């Protein structure tokens, strides 16, 4: 039995309908319950989100994207009889905001708020060319409660990766790849597992820049986790490691607004744990180069490479 009234028009009343007022005004009747579905509501929503994303074609128009996003909200809400209550409980359990509708912005207004959430499933994104190519699952972390740090951390990283993967295109192949990765990682929510894209060493700066730009959007990602991942990714390529350290020093000051000694302690801890005495040598070179006004990266690369040859 559909719970959507014939008179309901979520396309014209998107905020009230999708964000909770309709749900709030239509509570579950006593004795009602979910029946006849093999899927939990959470799994159902994930399935519908994937279907929705795969269906958004490359270069989709704003009108077409609007139509699809309304459709997916309908599909999420249009569960069997009793689904509204389970939907509300699920959102509450996942740490979602209360069901209120203090304002009623139009969908077009919501779509322009690129930095804000369109609760509860995803947020619209405008890419760097200013064109709305489609809706990307970029705020899935909002579904998860703050008190589950590992789960939240992993999903934030996944959201970050999806945003990077999609870039300025939404081809079906890239969507399928991104969503397959999303579904796989959902099965590993309790594990701190994240693998960066494999890129050649000569593209390291591009890699750092990508991560930095996305890190600015997710400042809760711990700096140590990010830097350690870089070190693991690039192994013992000393010149690239120096670039990473120099980059993260800037990132720490600008994005995280942390004092320099925080990064210094972090870098030396990670380098010693990975490179032993070479880590100590690196730290000494770093300090010496800065006090003498030398090119820190150039000096560290030159002396560090020599040190590695002598190991």
Q: What pLDDT, in 10s, does the model give residues 265-286?
A: 655 665 565 556 666 666 666 6
Least confidently predicted of 26-35, 133-142, 199-208, 221-230 = 133-142
Report phi then psi at 151, rounded to 5. -65, -45
Pick from 19-33, 192-206, 269-283, 291-305 the range whose average pLDDT is largest.
269-283
| Mean pLDDT confidence for 109-117 | 31
Cα–Cα distances in angstroms (integers) from residue 17 to residues 66, 82, 175, in the given order: 15, 17, 27
Report phi then psi at 231, rounded to 5. -65, -40
Q: Does residue 203 contact residue 211 with C-beta atoms inside 8 Å? A: no
Q: Which residue has the higher pLDDT, 48 or 129?
A: 48
**Percent of the chain having pLDDT more than 90?**
0
Least confidently predicted of 70-84, 138-152, 161-175, 241-255 = 138-152
Q: Which residue has the higher pLDDT, 308 or 117?
A: 308
Least confidently predicted of 31-45, 85-99, 128-142, 209-223 = 128-142
Q: Which residue has the tokens 């030398």?
A: 294
What residue ranges do the domains of the chain occupy? 1-191, 200-311
Q: Is the pLDDT of residue 229 over 60?
A: no
- Confidence category of residue 115, pLDDT binned at 50, 70, 90: very low
At residue 259, the pLDDT reads: 60
Pick from 4-8, 16-20, 141-145 the range whose average pLDDT is largest.
4-8
Q: CA nearest 139: which of 154, 153, 118, 165?
A: 118
- Confidence category of residue 177, pLDDT binned at 50, 70, 90: very low
Name the β-bridge partners of 118.
Answer: 122
| Mean pLDDT confidence for 94-116 | 33
Instruction: Please state, in angstroms and rounded to a whole number, the distance separating the CA atoms of residues 223 and 214.
Output: 13
Which pair of tokens denotes residue 45? Answer: 């929503």
Local structure of 35: helix, strand or coil: coil
Which pair of tokens denotes residue 2? Answer: 């559909």
- Tens digit of each residue's pLDDT (9 = 90 or more) over 291-309: 665 555 555 555 544 444 3
Would you mind telling me the total number of residues written for the chain in this entry? 311
* Cβ neighbours around 37 below 10 Å, total: 12
- Tens digit of each residue's pLDDT (9 = 90 or more) over 71-92: 545 544 443 333 444 444 443 4
Q: Does residue 7 contact residue 14 with C-beta atoms inside 8 Å? A: no
Instruction: Please state, in angstroms and rounded to a whole number, the distance separating the CA atoms of residues 152 and 147.
Output: 8
DSSP state of 196: P
Instruction: Please state, in angstroms and rounded to a whole number, the distance separating the CA atoms of residues 294 and 299.
Output: 7
| Mean pLDDT confidence for 24-45 | 36
Query: Dihedral sign, CA of 18, 23, 26, 31?
Result: positive
């Amino acid at each position: 039995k559909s719970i959507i009234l014939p008179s309901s028009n979520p396309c014209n009343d998107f905020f009230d309908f999708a964000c909770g007022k309709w749900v709030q005004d239509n509570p579950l009747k006593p004795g009602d319950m979910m029946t006849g579905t093999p899927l939990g509501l959470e799994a159902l929503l994930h399935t519908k989100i994937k279907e929705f994303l795969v269906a958004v074609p490359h270069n989709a128009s704003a009108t077409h994207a609007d139509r699809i996003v309304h459709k997916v909200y309908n599909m999420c809400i249009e569960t069997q009889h009793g689904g509204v209550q389970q939907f509300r409980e699920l959102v509450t359990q996942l740490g979602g905001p209360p069901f209120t509708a203090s304002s009623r912005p139009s969908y077009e207004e919501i779509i322009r708020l690129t930095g804000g959430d369109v609760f509860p499933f995803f947020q619209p994104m405008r890419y760097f060319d200013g064109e709305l190519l489609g809706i990307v699952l970029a705020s899935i972390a909002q579904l998860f409660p703050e008190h589950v740090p590992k789960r939240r951390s992993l999903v934030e990283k996944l959201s970050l990766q999806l945003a990077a993967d999609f870039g300025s295109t939404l081809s079906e192949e890239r969507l399928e790849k991104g969503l397959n990765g999303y579904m796989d990682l959902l099965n590993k929510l309790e594990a701190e597992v994240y693998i960066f894209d494999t890129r050649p060493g000569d593209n390291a700066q591009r890699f750092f820049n990508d991560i930095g730009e996305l890190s600015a959007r997710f400042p809760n990602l711990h700096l140590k986790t990010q830097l350690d991942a870089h070190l693991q990714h690039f192994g013992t390529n000393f010149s690239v490691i120096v670039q990473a350290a120099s980059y993260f020093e800037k990132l720490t000051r600008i994005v995280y607004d942390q004092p320099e000694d925080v990064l210094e302690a972090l870098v030396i801890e990670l380098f010693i744990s990975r490179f032993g005495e070479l880590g100590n040598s690196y730290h000494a070179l770093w300090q010496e180069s800065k006090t003498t006004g030398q090119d820190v990266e150039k000096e560290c690369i030159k002396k560090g490479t020599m040190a590695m040859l002598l190991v």
